[in-house]
C-alpha cells in the first residue's frame, strides 16, 4: 500500500503567506538600512567662540551627529564631545569654543537603522578676536589665469571672457593676477571698461599684475624726508662776467665756486633737507625663479596707503620643493620690506602650498613668524571653502584633506581681520559648469583695516 501523501496547502493560504512576507521585507529593509556616509563637512562662519559647520544631506538621515575634537584623527573616532542637529537640518553652530584654536569635525547621519559611517574630517580655526564691522574695509582677490605655463590650455576668446567675468563677479577693490604674461595688455583693456586700472607695469615681460578699482584706490604719491647733498649753480644777484677762472669766492655767501662746463657751480656739495618721492611700484625676483610685483595704493575709504603684492612661488610636490618655497617666502618678505619701508603689506598670490601639504606648509609658517596670517584662518564667513583653489582643469570639484587645499592665498598682518572669504567658481552638485577660465579658481576676501 503506497505511503499517504501530506495534504496540500490551500492555494489561498499560500498566496496570503507569501504576500505578507514580501510586504514585511519591502517595508522593513529600507527603513532599517543605515544612512550613507556624509560628504566632507565645511565651516561657513567663525567667531572667537563658535564655528558653524555645514554638510551635504544624505538619504535616509533623520538627524545628524557632529563630533568635535582637536585633531582630524580624534574627530574620526572620539565621542567625547558630540552635538546633534535640529532634525534634518544640515548646519549647526558649535558653541563654547576657545579663541584662536583649531577644531576638527566629522558628521554622522542617523536613521531608523542606526548611524552611518562618519564623514572625513574638516578643520578650521576660531577667530583671535571679534570682527569689528565698523572698520574700514578693502576687498582683495587673487587669481592665477594660466596664460603661459606648459599645462595651460590654449588662450581663446571664451577663456578670456570667462576670466574677465570671474574678476567682475568677484567685485574686489584690488586684484592680483599671476601667470598673466603676454595677456596683461589685453586684460587691461577689458577691465578698464569695468573701472579697473593697472599699476604702472614695466615695459617688459611681467608674469604678475595688480589691478585696482579707480573708485576705491589710486597709486600713492608718498614722500620721505631726506638730506640731499649736491653741487648747485650760482643764483645770486651779481653778474659772474668779471669772475676769475677757475675759482671765485662769493663775498656775500663766503661760498667758493668753480667754473665747470658752461657755468659756475659750488665747489663743495650743498646739503639741504628735502622730501623725496617714494617708489609707487616695482618688481620682485629671486634666484630660484619666484616672482612678484608690488604697488603702493592709497585707499579712498580711509586715506591710508598700503602695499599690495602679487606673488608666484615655485611649484613641486616634494618636501625639498616645499622648503624652497619657504626660502622664497623669506626672500619675498625681505625684498618687499626693502622696497616699501614701513607700509602695511597685503600679500596675494599663488603660493603653491597649502595647510596639510608637503613639508608642513612652509610659506604659512614663515608668514606667521613675521606677523602675517592667512585670511582663510581669520575670516568671519566662508563661501565654497570645500572647493580647492586649484582645479587642474578637472570638472569634478576636489576637496583636499582637512583644510580644503587652497594654494591661492591672501596674507594680511595679524592686527587685521576679514569679514568674508570665498572661492569664486561656477559649480553645480560639486562639479564645475560652463567654461573653465583657468586651472585655478579665484579667491576673494574682504579685509578689515585697523
**What is the reported pTM?**
0.81
Is the Cα dihedral 436, 199, 181, 339 positive or negative? negative
Please state the rounded mean pLDDT for residues 183-202: 90
Which pLDDT band, with edges at 50, 70 and 90, does 3 fall under?
Answer: very low
Mean pLDDT of the chain: 89
In terms of domains, do 267 and 357 share one? Answer: no
Which pLDDT band, with edges at 50, 70 and 90, does 287 fall under?
Answer: confident
Which pLDDT band, with edges at 50, 70 and 90, does 18 fall under?
Answer: very low
Please state the rounded mean pLDDT for residues 52-65: 95
205 Cβ contact partners less than 8 Å away, ≥ 6 residues apart = 181, 182
pLDDT higher than 50, residue 450: yes
Which CATH number characterizes residue 332's domain? 3.60.10.10
78: in domain: yes
Omega within 30 of 0 (cis) for the link into 232? no
pLDDT higher than 50, residue 15: no
- Phi and psi at residue 369, in whole multiples of 5°? -65, -20
426: in domain: yes
In terms of domains, do 233 and 296 share one? Answer: no
In terms of domains, do 283 and 260 share one? Answer: no
pLDDT in tens, 246-279: 999 998 889 999 998 889 999 999 998 887 665 5
Please state the rounded mean pLDDT for residues 197-218: 84
In terms of domains, do 295 and 194 share one? Answer: yes
- Percentage of residues in the chain with pLDDT exceeding 90? 72
Q: Is 253 strand, coil or helix? A: coil
In terms of domains, do 179 and 234 share one? Answer: no
pLDDT for the residue 4: 43
Please state the rounded mean pLDDT for residues 140-144: 99
In terms of domains, do 288 and 415 share one? Answer: yes
9: in domain: no
pLDDT for the residue 78: 84
pLDDT in tens, 351-400: 999 998 999 999 999 999 999 999 999 999 999 999 999 999 999 998 88
Is the Cα dihedral 429, 105, 120, 28 positive or negative? negative
In terms of domains, do 328 and 354 share one? Answer: yes
Domain count across the chain? 3
11: in domain: no
pLDDT for the residue 438: 98
Which CATH number characterizes residue 90's domain? 2.60.40.10
Beta strands in 278-364 (DSSP E): 281-285, 291-299, 305-312, 345-350
Grid cell locating 183? 595677456
95: in domain: yes
pLDDT for the residue 182: 86
In terms of domains, do 239 and 354 share one? Answer: no
In terms of domains, do 332 and 342 share one? Answer: yes
Residue that finishes a domain, picked among 96, 125, 154: 125
268: in domain: yes
28: in domain: no
Domain that includes residue 80, residue range: 42-125
pLDDT higher than 50, residue 21: no
pLDDT for the residue 278: 59
10: in domain: no
First-to-last C-alpha distance (Å) of the chain: 108
- Phi and psi at residue 112, in whole multiples of 5°? -65, -30
Residue that finishes a domain, picked among 261, 276, 291: 276
Residue that finishes a domain, picked among 65, 91, 125: 125
pLDDT in tens, 292-340: 999 999 999 999 999 999 999 999 999 999 999 999 999 999 999 998 8
In terms of domains, do 236 and 210 share one? Answer: no
- Least confident window among 235-244, 360-369, 408-417: 235-244
In terms of domains, do 257 and 321 share one? Answer: no
In terms of domains, do 169 and 211 share one? Answer: yes
Amino acid at each position: 500500500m503506497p505511503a499517504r501523501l501530506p495534504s496540500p496547502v490551500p492555494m489561498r493560504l499560500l498566496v496570503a503567506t507569501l504576500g505578507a512576507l514580501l510586504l514585511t521585507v519591502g517595508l522593513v529593509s529600507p527603513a532599517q538600512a543605515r544612512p550613507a556616509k556624509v560628504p566632507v563637512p565645511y565651516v561657513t562662519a567663525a567667531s572667537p567662540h563658535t564655528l558653524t559647520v555645514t554638510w551635504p544631506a544624505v538619504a535616509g538621515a533623520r538627524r545628524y551627529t557632529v563630533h568635535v575634537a582637536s585633531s582630524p584623527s580624534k574627530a574620526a573616532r572620539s565621542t567625547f564631545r558630540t552635538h546633534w542637529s535640529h532634525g534634518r537640518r544640515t548646519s549647526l553652530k558649535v558653541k563654547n569654543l576657545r579663541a584662536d584654536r583649531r577644531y576638527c569635525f566629522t558628521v554622522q547621519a542617523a536613521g531608523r537603522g542606526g548611524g552611518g559611517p562618519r564623514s572625513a574630517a574638516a578643520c578650521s580655526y576660531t577667530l583671535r578676536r571679534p570682527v569689528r564691522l565698523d572698520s574700514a574695509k578693502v576687498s582683495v582677490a587673487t587669481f592665477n589665469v594660466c596664460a603661459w605655463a606648459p599645462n595651460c590650455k590654449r588662450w581663446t576668446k571664451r577663456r578670456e571672457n570667462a576670466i574677465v567675468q570671474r574678476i567682475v563677479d568677484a567685485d574686489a577693490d584690488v586684484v592680483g593676477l599671476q601667470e598673466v604674461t603676454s595677456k596683461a595688455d589685453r586684460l587691461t583693456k577689458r577691465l578698464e571698461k569695468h573701472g579697473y586700472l593697472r599699476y604702472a607695469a614695466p615695459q617688459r615681460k611681467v608674469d604678475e599684475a595688480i589691478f585696482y578699482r579707480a573708485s576705491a584706490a589710486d597709486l600713492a604719491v608718498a614722500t620721505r624726508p631726506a638730506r640731499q647733498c649736491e653741487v648747485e649753480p650760482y643764483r645770486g644777484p651779481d653778474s659772474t662776467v668779471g669772475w676769475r677762472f677757475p675759482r671765485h669766492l662769493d663775498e656775500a655767501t663766503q661760498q667758493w665756486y668753480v667754473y665747470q662746463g658752461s657755468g659756475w657751480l659750488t665747489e663743495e656739495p650743498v646739503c639741504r633737507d628735502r622730501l623725496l618721492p617714494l617708489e609707487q611700484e616695482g618688481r620682485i625676483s629671486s634666484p630660484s625663479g619666484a616672482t612678484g610685483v608690488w604697488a603702493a595704493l592709497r585707499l579712498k575709504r580711509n586715506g591710508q596707503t598700503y602695499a599690495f603684492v602679487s606673488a608666484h612661488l615655485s611649484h613641486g610636490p616634494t618636501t625639498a620643493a616645499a622648503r624652497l618655497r619657504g626660502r622664497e617666502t623669506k626672500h619675498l618678505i625681505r625684498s618687499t620690506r626693502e622696497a616699501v619701508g614701513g607700509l602695511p603689506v597685503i600679500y596675494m598670490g599663488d603660493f603653491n602650498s597649502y595647510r596639510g601639504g608637503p613639508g608642513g606648509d612652509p610659506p604659512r609658517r614663515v608668514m606667521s613668524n613675521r606677523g602675517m596670517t592667512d585670511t582663510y584662518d581669520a575670516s568671519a564667513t566662508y563661501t565654497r571653502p570645500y572647493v580647492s583653489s586649484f582645479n587642474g582643469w578637472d570638472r569634478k570639484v576636489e576637496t583636499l584633506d582637512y583644510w580644503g587645499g587652497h594654494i591661492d592665498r591672501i596674507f594680511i598682518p595679524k592686527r587685521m581681520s576679514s569679514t568674508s572669504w570665498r572661492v569664486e567658481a561656477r559649480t553645480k552638485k560639486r562639479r564645475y559648469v560652463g567654461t573653465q577660465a583657468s586651472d585655478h579658481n579665484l579667491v576673494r576676501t574682504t579685509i578689515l583695516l585697523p
